[in-house]
Amino acid sequence: MWTIQTPWTRRLRPFAILLTFLLSACQHADQETDSHAPEPEATTMKTTTMNTPPIAAKRPHQTVLHGQTRIDPYHWLRDDDRKDPEVIDYLDAENAWFERQMSDTDTLQESLYQEMTARLKEDESSVPQKDGDYWYYYRYEEGKDYKIHARKYQSLDAAEQIILDENVRAEGEDYYSVNSIQISDDHRLMAWTEDTVSRRLYTIRIMNLDTGEMLGEDIPNASGAMAFAADNKTLFYTIKDEQTLLPFQVYRHALGTDISNDTLIYEEKDNTFYTSVSRGKSKDYIYISIGSTISSEYRLLPADQPKGEFELFLARQDHHEYQVTDLNGRFYVLTNQDAINFKIMSTDQIRNTSMHGWQEFVAHRDDVLLSGMTAFRDRLAVNLRINGMRNIHLIPFDDGPVLEIDSDEPAYTMYLDDNVEVDAAKLRYGYTSLTTPYTIYDYDLTSGERTLLKQTEVIGDFDSANYQTARLMVPARDGTDVPISVVHHRKTPVDGTAPLLVYAYGSYGSSTDPSFNSSRLSLLDRGYVFAIAHVRGGQEMGRKWYDDGKMFNKRNTFNDFVDVTRGLIERRYGDPKRTYAYGGSAGGLLMGVIINEAPELYHGVVAAVPFVDVINTMLDESIPLTTGEFNEWGNPKIKDQYEYILSYSPYDQVQAQDYPNLLITTGLHDSQVQYFEPAKWIAKLRDMKTDDNLLLMYTDMEAGHGGASGRYQRYRDVARMFAFFLKLSDMNTGAQ
C-alpha cells in the first residue's frame, strides 16, 4: 500500500472565528446572550477615496460574560455563507487599498516572483518509493502547477503509468488540492481525496488502475483519512461534521455498492477529540485513532477481517497520549505515561486494560524528546530531539548496537521519510538546514553506509557556501534560554546595520525546525538576516517547552519572541530601525500580541491568516476546531481562563497607540482562521491607531488557510509579502 497524506493536526495553524454572543449588563454574571445595541452607527461602509482607506461601519454588538460587558463593533463582518454583498464589498475595498498602497512595488513583486520561480526545477520529481512490485513517484511538467502521480512495474526502466494527473483534475477550478492517496494491496485500485473550495472538506474518488475507469462511488465530506482492507474490496474512511469540520465518524464502504449503504463503524461523541483511520505499516491491522490535545485512544482491526469488530487497544485517560505501531506480532507504544518526554513500551496484547506487564523498549530521558517511530523487520527507527535538533536512532530488537545518524551543521532537521516496506534493507530519511536544500538519503541498516538519492535542485547560481547559519541562545526575561536559528549571506555584515526578519509559530507543540526555503534567498541576497525564534509553545526543547507555552503559560510565547528580538539586536544581528516580524495562524496571534505590547520594537510586521479574536472564537463551539483546543488556549466560559485569554487577545487589546507598519493576509474560504477575524481586526486597528504607518490587508477571494493552490501561484503570495518588507527597508533593488 502506497500512501501520501497531509495529517489533520488539531488546529496546527489555528482556527476560525466565532459568532458574537452578547447580553445586557443586568443579566447574571455567568449568563451569555446575544443582543444588538440600539442604533447602529452606519448601515454601510463609509465613503472612501483613492487617498483614504476603507472605514468599516460600527454596529455595536455587546456581550456580557462573567459580569463583564464587551462591545464588538465589527461583528457584522461575519458572514458564514460568504455571500453578503456588503461584506464582500468591504473585503474588495481593502484589496483595492492594498493594491493602491503597494502599486509602487508592482515591478518589484513581478521581479521577485520571476526570480523565485526561476529557482525551481520545472520538471522536478520525487524519489521513487518501492511498494510490492511497483515503484511510485510524482513529477511536475514544465509550466504546470500540479503534480502528476505515476508508477512503474518492477523496474524503474519500465514504461510509466500515470495514475493521477492533478492538472487535468484542476482544469476549470479556482482552487484544487489533493490530500491523500491510497493504493489497494493488489495495486488495482486507487482512492484519493480532493478539495476544490479550500475548506478542507474533501471528496473521496476511486479509480480502477487497470482500466482507468472511475468507480463513480464518490464520498463527500471526508477528512482525507482512509484505508483499504486486505481483501481489496473494502475501504474505511472518516467523515467530517459539515459545520465544525470535526472528523468524527468512521465508515466501511464495500466497493461496487451505493455509499448510502455504507456501515457506520465508529462515532466519536466527545467533540474535543479528532478521529482518523489508517493502515499500519505492517499491513496487518487497520487503526482507528482518536485524539485530543492531551489524550489518545486506539482501536484495531485485523486487515484481513474487514467485517470484524475493532478492538479497543487501551482506553483514553486524561493527560495520557500514545501512538501505536505493530510488527512481528508485537505492539510498540510511544507513551507519555510517567514520561513527560515519552518512552517506548511493547506488548503482545491487542486489548489492554492497563500498561501492567508491558516491557520497556526505549527508556524515558529528561534531555531527549521521542517524537515518532517506524518499524523494520529487525529494528525500530526513532525520531527524537536532542538539544532541540531532530535526529534518528536505529534501535535493534535484539542486543545489537544502536545506530545514530549524525550531522555536522549547527542547525538542521533530520526526519524519517516514507518507509513503506518493513523488510527493506535500507532506511530512507530526509535532511535539510537553513543552507542545505531538502536531501533524501538511503541508510543501509547493516553497514551504516549512507547513499545520497536526491537533493532538491536550486536553478541558477545558488551555492550554499555563500550563506552562513548559526545557533544562538538568548535569555528570556524569566532567565530561560531560548534557542534561535539564524541565516544570512556571508557578505551581510553582522554589525547592527542589516535589516532583520524574525519568525516564530509557538503553539500546539508544533516545532519550527530549521529548513531550507529557496524563496528566502530573495531576502538573504538583498542583505536581510533571517531568524527563527524557537519560542515556548513548540516542542523544540522537549515536552515541557510546549507545556510552558500554553494555557496559563501562554504569555511565555509572547515574551520569548520580544526578548529574542531584543537579544538579536543587542548582538548586532539587525538594525533596530529595520527590524521586522512575521507569523501565520497561531503565529499571527503572536504578531497581534507583540504589536500591542512592544510596537516600538518593529518597523513592520506581516500577520498571515492571524488568529486574533481569541475570546469570541473559543466561545463559539460551532466554529471549526474550537472544541478540540480548550486544552491549548482555555475555555473562556470558565472565569479565570476567560480573564487570562482576555489579557492578551489581540482584537480585544487593540489600543489608541502607534503601531508598526502592518500587512494582514487572509483567505475568504479559510476553515481554520475564518476571514472575519483579520477583517474585524484591521477595522478596529484603523479606527484606534494613532500613527500614519501602513495598515494593509489582502484577502484571497478564492483560497483558504494555506493560500493559493498550485506550485507557482503560491509564490505570488510570497512576492507580495517580501515586497512589503523591502518597501519598508528601502532595499528594493540590487542583490549581494
Q: Answer yes or no: is pLDDT of 39 > 80.
A: no
Q: What's the pLDDT at 33?
A: 30
pLDDT beyond 80 at 577: yes
Q: What percent of the chain has pLDDT over 70?
A: 91
Query: DSSP state, 707?
Result: B
Mean pLDDT, residues 205-223 taken together: 95
Backbone angles phi, psi at 144, to 5 degrees: -105, 145
* For residues 603-628, average pLDDT: 93
In a domain, 148, yes or no: yes
Q: Which residue has the cell 512589503?
A: 724
Is residue 39 situated within a structural domain? no
The predicted pLDDT at position 708 comes to 62
Here the cell at position 477 is: 526575561
Given CA atoms 167, 168, 170, 176 in this order, what sign does their dihedral have? negative
Q: For the sheet containing 412-416, what is the strand order?
A: 412-416, 426-433, 439-444, 450-455
In which residue are the cell numbers 460587558 written?
69
- The CA distance from 512 to 515, in Å, is 9
Is 199 inside any structural domain?
yes
**Structural Rg of the chain based on CA atoms:** 26
Residue 23 is predicted with a pLDDT of: 24
3-state secondary structure of 527: coil
Give the CATH number of the domain where residue 724 resides.
3.40.50.1820
In sign, the C-alpha dihedral spanning 641, 646, 647, 650 is positive
Angle at 615 (CA atoms; ends 610, 616), nearest 5 degrees: 85
Per-residue pLDDT band for 709 (boundaries 50, 70, 90) equals low
Asked if 392 and 407 touch (Cβ cutoff 8 Å), the reply is no
pLDDT band with cut points at 50, 70 and 90 for residue 704? low
Query: Would residue 184 show up in a list of annotated catalytic residues for this protein?
Result: no
Cβ-proximal residues to 47 (8 Å cutoff; 6+ apart), any chain: none
Q: What is the H or E stretch that residue 94 is in?
A: helix 85-101
Q: How many domains does the chain have?
A: 2
SS3 at position 395: strand
What would the grid cell of residue 663 be? 500587512
Residue 714 has a pLDDT of 86
Task: Give the residue with greater pLDDT, 482 vs 196.
Answer: 482
Q: Is the distance from CB of 27 to CB of 69 less than 8 angstroms?
A: no
Catalytic residue (choose from 61, 253, 393, 705): 705
Q: Report yes or no: 86 and 70 within 8 Å, Cβ to Cβ.
A: no
Q: Is residue 671 part of a domain?
A: yes
For residue 295, the domain's CATH number is: 2.130.10.120
Model confidence at 705, in pLDDT bands (50, 70, 90)?
low
Give the residue from 272, 292, 320 where a domain finishes.
320
Residue 99 lies in a domain: no
On whether residue 430 sits in a domain, the answer given is: no
Nearest to 523 by CA among 494, 488, 551: 488
Which one of the listed residues 326, 670, 700, 717 is annotated catalytic?
A: 670
Cell of 541: 526543547
pLDDT band at 203 (very low <50, low <70, confident <90, very high): very high
Domain closes at, from 268, 296, 320: 320
Burial of 334 (0-12, 13-18, 19+ CB in 10 A): buried
Give the alpha-carbon dihedral of 339, 342, 345, 350, to 10 degrees.
110
Query: Domain end: 258, 292, 320, which one?
Result: 320
165 is catalytic: no
Categorize the per-residue pLDDT at 650 as very low, low, confident or very high, splitting at 50, 70 and 90. very high
Task: Determine the pLDDT at residue 47.
Answer: 45
- Whole-number pLDDT of residue 10: 28
With b for 16 or more beta-carbon neighbours within 10 A and e for fewer, the 161-177 pattern comes to eebbbbbebbeeeebbb
What residues make up the domain containing 507?
A: 463-729
Q: Mean of the pLDDT values across residues 392-415?
A: 90
Q: What is the pTM of this model?
A: 0.88
> Could you report the per-residue pLDDT of 592-607, keeping only the tens digit for each?
999 999 999 999 999 9
How far is residue 2's CA from residue 423's CA, in Å, rounded to a whole number? 15
Beta bridge partners of 666: 699
- In whole angstroms, give the CA distance from residue 610 to residue 642: 20
C-alpha cell at 73: 463593533
**309 inside domain:** yes
418 grid coordinates: 516514507
Q: Is residue 665 part of a domain?
A: yes
Indicate the range of 189-193, 417-421, 452-456 predicted with least confidence.
417-421
**Catalytic pick among 289, 292, 585, 709:** 585
pLDDT at 506 over 70: yes
- In this prediction, residues 147-169 reach a mean pLDDT of 96
Which of these ranges, 33-42, 83-92, 338-347, 471-480, has the smallest mean pLDDT? 33-42
**Hunting for cell 518507509 — which residue is that?**
419
Mean pLDDT of 53-61: 96
Q: What is the pLDDT of residues 8-29, one digit of tens each?
A: 332 343 322 222 222 222 222 2
Query: 473 vs 3, 152, 390, 402, 560, CA distance in Å?
Result: 39, 48, 17, 30, 11
E-strand stretches of 303-377: 311-314, 322-327, 330-335, 343-347, 359-362, 368-375
Sign, Cα dihedral of 167, 170, 176, 181: negative
Q: CA–CA separation, 500 vs 123, rounded Å?
A: 34
Catalytic residue check, 670: yes
- Exposed, middle or buried by CB within 10 Å (0-12, 13-18, 19+), for 372? middle
Q: Would strands 500-503 and 579-584 be described as parallel, antiparallel, or unpaired?
A: parallel
pLDDT at 152 over 80: yes
Taking residues 40-44, what's their average pLDDT?
A: 38
Strand partners, 206: 191
Q: What is the pLDDT of residues 458-502, one digit of tens each?
A: 999 999 999 999 999 999 999 999 999 999 999 999 999 999 999
